[in-house]
């Protein structure tokens, strides 16, 4: 009985699992050399509270795709740096917002797809801190990748988040933009058309809006 109670007590105070020894079975799916090379990266990420799940996923992806160990390690290292930069950017933009793994991953991917860091930061600053940005940032990345100017795309996303547009509607925008692009519409016009076809209110024209920008000093 005493031994059983001791076992229970030990379980309650057991040290946290080391990075890599997760239920995802990283150690079992990677060869020893690759796992050994990745372990310092994962441990460092763990110490810095960088999300580990996407790093492990990238390692598993590389193994599944039979990439060389060096390529897997490089990809995971690069992703760790991107996640660190994304987290720093989001924290600086909204210090009171929680560090959400989804937001950090989406911010890193948005920047990888061409969204300038200042637009990611602007979006974080201008929506309530507790709002999840994972889907809004993903949609922003989709729009910028399709050629929509980043500032306009960000303004639209920001408007939708603050207006309470459901994410289920937001994720439909890129495919509607594609329809307009296929018939030759410029990206910004395609975005406006997509919003109208989805019944999403278009932000008012002006700086950051969808309308034409007036040059500085133009009062006409």
Partner 1 sequence: MNQEHPLVRDYLDGELAYDALPEEHRPEADQFRRIADAMASDRVALPPGVRAAIMRRVRAAPEPAARRVWSWVMTPREIRVSPAMGVLALAAAVGALLLTRPRAGTVPDAGPSHAALTATNTRFVFLAPTASSVAVTGDFASWDPKGIPLRDATGTGVWVVELTLPAGLHHYVFVVDGHQWLPDPNASQVDDGFGQKNSVLMVPARVES
* 134 forms part of the interface with partner 1 (CB under 8 A): yes
Shortest Cβ 192–partner 1 spacing (Å): 20
Shortest Cβ 88–partner 1 spacing (Å): 14
Cβ atoms of residues 140 and 154 within 8 Å: yes
Structure tokens at 21: 């020894």
Q: Which is nearer to partner 1, 128 or 184 (CB)?
A: 128
In sequence order, what are the residues at sequence separation of 6 or more whose Cβ sits closer than 8 angstroms to the Cβ of residue 207? Answer: 213
Strand residues in 106-193 grouped as ranges (E): none
* 187 forms part of the interface with partner 1 (CB under 8 A): no
Per DSSP, 20 falls in state T
* 142 forms part of the interface with partner 1 (CB under 8 A): yes
* 100 forms part of the interface with partner 1 (CB under 8 A): yes
Sign of the CA dihedral with 37 first, then 41, 44, and 46 last: negative
Q: Which is nearer to partner 1, 167 or 197 (CB)?
A: 167
The SS3 assignment for 144 reads helix
User: CA angle 204-209-213, nearest 5°?
Assistant: 110
* 182 forms part of the interface with partner 1 (CB under 8 A): no
Span between the terminal Cα atoms of the chain, in Å? 87
Quick one: which of 38, 41, 73, 79 contacts partner 1 (CB under 8 A)? 79
Structure tokens at 88: 């720093």
Residues 15-74 that bind partner 1 (CB under 8 A): 16-17, 19, 22, 24-25, 45-54, 57-58, 60-65, 67, 71-72
Shortest Cβ 220–partner 1 spacing (Å): 39
Quick one: which of 81, 145, 189, 197 contacts partner 1 (CB under 8 A)? 145
* 101 forms part of the interface with partner 1 (CB under 8 A): yes
């Amino acid at each position: 009985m005493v031994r059983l109670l001791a076992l229970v007590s030990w379980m309650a105070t057991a040290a946290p699992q080391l990075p890599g020894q997760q239920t995802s079975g990283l150690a079992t799916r990677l060869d020893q050399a690759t796992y050994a090379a990745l372990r310092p990266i994962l441990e460092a990420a763990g110490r810095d509270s960088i999300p580990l799940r996407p790093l492990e996923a990238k390692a598993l992806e590389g193994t599944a795709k039979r990439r060389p160990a060096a390529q897997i390690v490089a990809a995971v290292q690069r992703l760790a740096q991107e996640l660190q930069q994304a987290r720093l950017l989001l924290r600086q933009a909204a210090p009171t917002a929680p560090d959400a793994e989804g937001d950090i991953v989406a911010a890193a991917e948005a920047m990888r797809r061409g969204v300038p860091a200042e637009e990611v930061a602007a979006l974080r600053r201008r929506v309530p801190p507790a709002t999840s940005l994972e889907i809004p940032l993903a949609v922003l990345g989709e729009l910028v990748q399709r050629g929509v100017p980043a500032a306009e795309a960000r303004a639209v996303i920001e408007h939708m988040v603050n207006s309470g547009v459901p994410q289920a509607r937001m994720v439909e925008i890129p495919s509607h933009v594609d329809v307009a692009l296929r018939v030759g519409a410029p990206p910004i016009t395609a975005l406006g058309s997509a919003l109208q076809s989805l019944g999403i209110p278009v932000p008012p024209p002006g700086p950051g809006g969808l309308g034409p920008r007036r040059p500085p000093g133009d009062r006409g």
